[in-house]
Amino acid sequence: MDAKQNIVIIGAGYAGLTTALRLDRKHRITLISADSHLTQRIRLHELAAGRPEVTVPLKELTKDTGITTVRGRVNAIDLDGKRVHTEDGREFAYDTLVYALGSRTDTGVPGVAEHAYTAEQAGDLRARLDGGSGELVVVGGGLTGVEMAAELAESYPAWRVALVTGGVAGAGLSEKGRRHLARTLTRLGARMHEGTRVESVGPDGVRTDQGVLAADVVVWAGSFRVPELAAEAGLAVDDRGRVVVDETLRSVSHPDVYAVGDAAAVQLPSGTHRMSCAAGMPIAAHAADVINARAAGRPAEPFRFRYLLQCVSLGRRDGLVQFVHGDDSPKERILSGRTAAWVKEQICRFTVTALKMERRRPGTYMWAKGPARRKAVADGRVEARRSDATAAR
């Protein structure tokens, strides 16, 4: 058996593009994206700080591949009829659907949507900061918030930057890594407010459990959320709305649907994967391999992956490379300073290079393999989420 399929991929971020470019080109492949370009999400803090562009045209990445790119926003999936619908009234039939809609910054805290900028609004943020001065508060102590705070403090010295987090900044780093992070932010002039939970954002600042912090500009770098489309369609999802998949990245409720990247709940031996480019591209590449294998009548291998590094840019001349165990827990070993900044830059460049390599020769992208994932989510929990998703339709 060597069946030619009609494969539709929704979402053209790192994961969606990786899957599309790696698939066997005997298939009819349609890539649906709300934008005409790939946004390099891992560079959005650089865009806010003045980098001229962080996008790559889809036509450049899919040139000479036979992949049909469609610009449109998907607003419904008919799982029974195997059709995807876009807001402008078009519909696309599929034999296999790859769900790769990714994630966005969660703006559910009161006042965030109205009064704060997110990384996705980096261009608008740059326009607001350029030539101005005042109090700038970055909320979020994860790596996204840390990178944003450092980049803005370095690039806009007229702005007084504060980083606010409910826990400790860089909580997933080693003690040595957190010390370097704190020293660098202090050197750049950024103040740190750890153990400070933000309750709401207003036009004049942020209200916290420690009091009010005045701010002329607030940047929100909290957790990510995924679109509700999967649950609305009736796919089995977890408690964060991510598609529950088996060890081959296929939906546990609809075997003709695969989910990749941030929108998938991929179980590793250490738990659900971290929403990141580092995990998203390997997940997407493996999904393509599985689809190719099944179409050719070959057995599908389980997904295997292990983490190697966490890379943090701290402005343009400093950085942190945190070495980690396969389960993403930190080792004590780090690289810092200009060497770490150089490593981070090479990794950022490689994400686009890897896509271009897949365009020229599918199957070239490789990643660090670990043990197979642990047993799938218990049947009872999956059934519960199926019921929740069906009720939401």
pLDDT in tens, 315-328: 999 999 999 999 99
pLDDT at 390: 33
Domains and CATH numbers, the chain: 6-103+226-306+361-392 (3.50.50.60), 112-220 (3.50.50.60)
Percentage, residues of the chain above pLDDT 70: 94
Task: Express as a percent the part of the chain with pLDDT over 90.
Answer: 91
Query: Each residue of 203-222: b (16+ CB within 10 Å) or e?
Result: eebbbbeeeebebbbbbbbb
Q: Helical H runs in the chain?
A: 14-22, 44-48, 58-61, 112-115, 122-129, 143-155, 175-187, 229-233, 277-295, 337-360, 379-392
Across the range 217-241, mean pLDDT stands at 96
Rounded to an integer, what distance in angstroms lies between the CA atom of residue 218 and that of residue 36?
29
Residue 158 banded pLDDT, cuts 50, 70, 90: very high
Question: What is the bridge-based pairing of β-strands 330-336 and 74-78?
Answer: unpaired
Query: What integer best gives the mean pLDDT of the chain?
Result: 93
Fill in the amino acid letter for 382: V
Q: Is 378 exposed, middle or buried (0-12, 13-18, 19+ CB in 10 A)?
A: exposed
What is the tens place of the pLDDT at every residue in 13-60?
999 999 999 999 999 999 999 999 999 999 999 999 999 999 999 999
**For 48-62, what is each residue's pLDDT tens digit?**
999 999 999 999 999
Contact status, residue 337 vs residue 318, Cβ threshold 8 Å: yes
The answer to whether the predicted template modeling score (pTM) of the entire model surpasses 0.85 is: yes
**pLDDT value of position 373:** 57
Residue 310 Ramachandran class (φ > 0 left, ψ -120 to 50 alpha, else beta)? beta
What is the phi/psi pair of residue 11, to 5°? 110, 125
Q: In this structure, what DSSP letter does residue 363 have? A: T
- pLDDT of residue 391 exceeding 80, the answer is no
